[in-house]
């Protein structure tokens, strides 16, 4: 076992900001508006408030994926091989017509949901940036 593998098993500590538990969130959903709003409208871009949590232990969970579930841990790992190719992710309409239904079915099967609706996606274009940087 090399040093990097040992470090990942031991973990490391980091800090995170989490949404504050404010009473206002019981009657008002937390929000952030990601488009321009005229200043004179008096409408706020956000009502978010965050608290810093320090010294959070981060560990590599590879090999233990089945020990985590959505109800207990707030996340769940599911192994899945998509039928969508890398080229398909360059086409927004293919993402919506092919990948959305596939992900909806995966979430329904994995979590026992009766209805899933994908409403948005973001495609990373890291490969384009790497081509610019490294040629």
CA distances from 106 to 22, 95, 101, 113, 134 (A): 34, 15, 9, 10, 36
Averaged over 42-65, what is the pLDDT? 93
Residue 26 and residue 79 share a domain: no
pTM over 0.85: no
pLDDT-based confidence at residue 129 (cuts at 50, 70, 90): low
Averaged over 11-26, what is the pLDDT? 96
Please, which residues bridge with residue 58 across strands? 12
- Say if residue 13 is in the same domain as residue 36: yes
Least confident of 26-40, 83-97, 120-134: 120-134
Q: Provide, rounded to the nearest whole percent, the portion of the chain with pLDDT above 70.
A: 87
Same domain, 80 and 135: yes
Average pLDDT, the chain: 88
**Apex CA 31: angle with CA 28 and CA 37, to 5°?**
115
Can you tell me the mean pLDDT for 52-71?
A: 92
- pLDDT of amino acid 82: 92
Of the ranges 77-91, 98-112, 121-135, which one carries the lowest mean pLDDT score? 121-135
Res. 3 pLDDT band, cuts 50 70 90: low
**78 shares a domain with 30:** no
Domain of residue 69, residue span: 65-135
Q: Choose one of 18, 38, 60: the last residue of a domain.
A: 60
Indicate the residue among 13, 40, 60 that finishes a domain.
60
């Amino acid at each position: 076992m090399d040093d990097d593998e040992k470090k990942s098993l031991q973990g490391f500590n980091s800090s995170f900001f989490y949404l504050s538990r404010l009473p206002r969130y019981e009657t008002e959903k937390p929000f952030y508006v990601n488009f321009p709003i005229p200043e004179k409208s008096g409408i706020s871009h956000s009502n978010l408030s965050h608290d810093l949590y320090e010294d959070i232990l981060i560990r590599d969970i590879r090999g233990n994926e089945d020990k985590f579930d959505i109800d207990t841990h707030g996340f769940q790992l599911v192994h899945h091989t998509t039928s969508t190719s890398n080229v398909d992710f360059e086409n927004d309409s293919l993402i919506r017509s092919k990948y959305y239904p596939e992900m909806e079915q995966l979430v329904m099967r994995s979590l026992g949901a009766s209805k899933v609706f994908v409403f948005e996606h973001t495609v990373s274009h890291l490969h384009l940036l790497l081509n610019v940087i490294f040629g």
